[in-house]
Amino acid sequence: MKSYTDYLWFNTAHRREYINITPQVERAVKKSGIREGLVLVSAMHITASVYVNDDESGLINDIDEWLEGLAPSDKDYQHHRTGEVNGDAHLKNLIMHHQVILPITDGRLDLGPWQQVFYGEFDGKRRKRVVIKIIGE
């Protein structure tokens, strides 16, 4: 069994952003040389997420509105008493999760017809990273 690790770095212009990272994950799979296996894509921060869904702008806006409704950014969270002001970003991470595991078949990311991999940023404007860990043969 072989393994391969790569990192993606982000410094978003906005506090909340949704970035399609499928091409970067596909490049890492190709660089790994692994033909059959799994790829883990994981946000290394507790105020960001990695998820799989459709790359359609209306849906992305719907996701953002849905998350904002569930964890509003203007609420006075208990977490803010620590001096932080990103309580909503922590909750959005819990809703969207921080990682996905995807299959690799015949040397390619094996996604459904509309599936894309996204990095969701909920407390941006600072440097953050995602780890890509690939294992297989």
Residue from 135, 126, 109, 129 nearest 7 by CA? 129
Say what the pLDDT of residue 82 is: 96
- Residue ranges of domains in the chain, CATH in brackets: 2-136 (2.60.120.460)
Residue 74 Cα distances to 2, 21, 34, 44, 80, angstroms: 46, 28, 45, 25, 11
Contact 120, 92 (CB under 8 A): yes
Contacts of 14 (CB under 8 A, 6+ apart): 121, 124, 125
Confidence at residue 116, expressed as pLDDT on a 0 to 100 scale: 98
Q: Which of these, 38, 40, 43, 42, lies nearest to 2 by C-alpha position?
A: 38
Instruction: Give phi and psi for 80, each to the nearest 5.
Output: -70, -20
Tell me, what's the pLDDT at 53? 98
pLDDT at 94: 98
Task: Express each pLDDT in 35-90 by its tens digit.
Answer: 999 999 999 999 999 999 999 999 999 999 999 999 999 999 999 999 999 999 99
* Helices 87-96 + 57-70 axis angle, to 10: 120
